[in-house]
Amino acid sequence: MNIPVLTLLGAFWLLFLGRTVMLTLRGVGVFALIRGKPFSEKLIEIGFAVALPLWTAQTASAALGRALIPVPPFWSAAAPAWGGIALCAAGLALFAAALVSFGSAWRVGIDKTGDRLVTSGVFALSRNPIFLFMDMYLFGTFLIYPNLFFLLSFIFSALGLHFQILKEEKSLLSRFGDAYAEYCRKVRRYI
């Protein structure tokens, strides 16, 4: 179980950092975080900036057999764990497809300066494929390591992501008006 978990975790970071570096080298500012945002948005973004490295360290250390934060499991069964690996892998494929569909429009945080609405590729199936990927990956990790740390990580992340989606929808509606409203009528928020 450890090799698939570490492979998927490494693939996520490779995609995330690879795309970030590639766009940065092209002069694209990838991070649209914190500056000029209301306190509620700053709080969510800071929370994710702190939680993601902690979650990564806990996942990697659990895969290596020595969890950073020792938490007893709720159950011990291989079937849910393999289901979790499949869910993480499917989510990771969704993330990769979203990065391709986004092209150079990809940002981390709510970007109020983008000039194009991405509605093709995987965005024709979900308005928020990257947030959907994150929910899938975090729930999958909980199935692999069914303990309180990963359950709370999933719950708080899902709530935070939903709040972020609602904020992003307001921003996109104000920037793209009828085009975004029509897109919302055609494509669901998640699936």
**Is 142 in contact with 153 (CB distance < 8 Å)?**
yes
Residue 32 has pLDDT above 80, yes or no: no
pLDDT tens digits, one per residue of 38-97: 787 788 888 888 999 999 999 999 999 999 999 999 999 999 999 999 999 999 999 999
Band of residue 122 on the pLDDT scale cut at 50, 70, 90:
very high
Instruction: Determine what percent of the chain is predicted with pLDDT higher than 70.
Output: 97
How far apart CA 86 and CA 1 sit, in angstroms, is 12
Give the chain's mean pLDDT: 92
The pLDDT, as a whole number, for residue 1 is 62
Between the alpha carbon of residue 88 and those of residues 29, 40, 155, the distances in Å are 28, 29, 16
DSSP assignment of 72-138, as one string?
-BS---HHHHHHHHHHHHHHHHHHHHHHHHHGGG--BS--S-------SGGGGT-S-HHHHHHHHHH
pLDDT tens digits, one per residue of 89-113: 999 999 999 999 988 888 887 776 6
Q: What is the mean pLDDT of residues 145-167?
A: 94
- C-alpha closest to that of 134 among 52, 47, 24: 52
Burial readout 92-108 (b: 16 or more C-beta within 10 A, e: otherwise)? bebbbbbbebbeeebbb
How far apart CA 58 and CA 159 sit, in angstroms, is 20
Tell the residue number behind the tokens 């973004």, with chain if given: 45
The pLDDT, as a whole number, for residue 109 is 77
Which residues sit opposite 31 in a β-bridge?
108
- Rg of the chain in Å (alpha carbons): 17
Question: SS3 for 31?
Answer: strand
What CATH number labels 2-186? 1.20.120.1630
pLDDT tens digits, one per residue of 126-146: 999 999 999 999 999 999 999
Instruction: Determine what percent of the chain is predicted with pLDDT higher than 90.
Output: 73
The pLDDT, as a whole number, for residue 3 is 94
How far apart CA 49 and CA 138 sit, in angstroms, is 15
How far apart CA 117 and CA 160 sit, in angstroms, is 23
The pLDDT, as a whole number, for residue 42 is 80
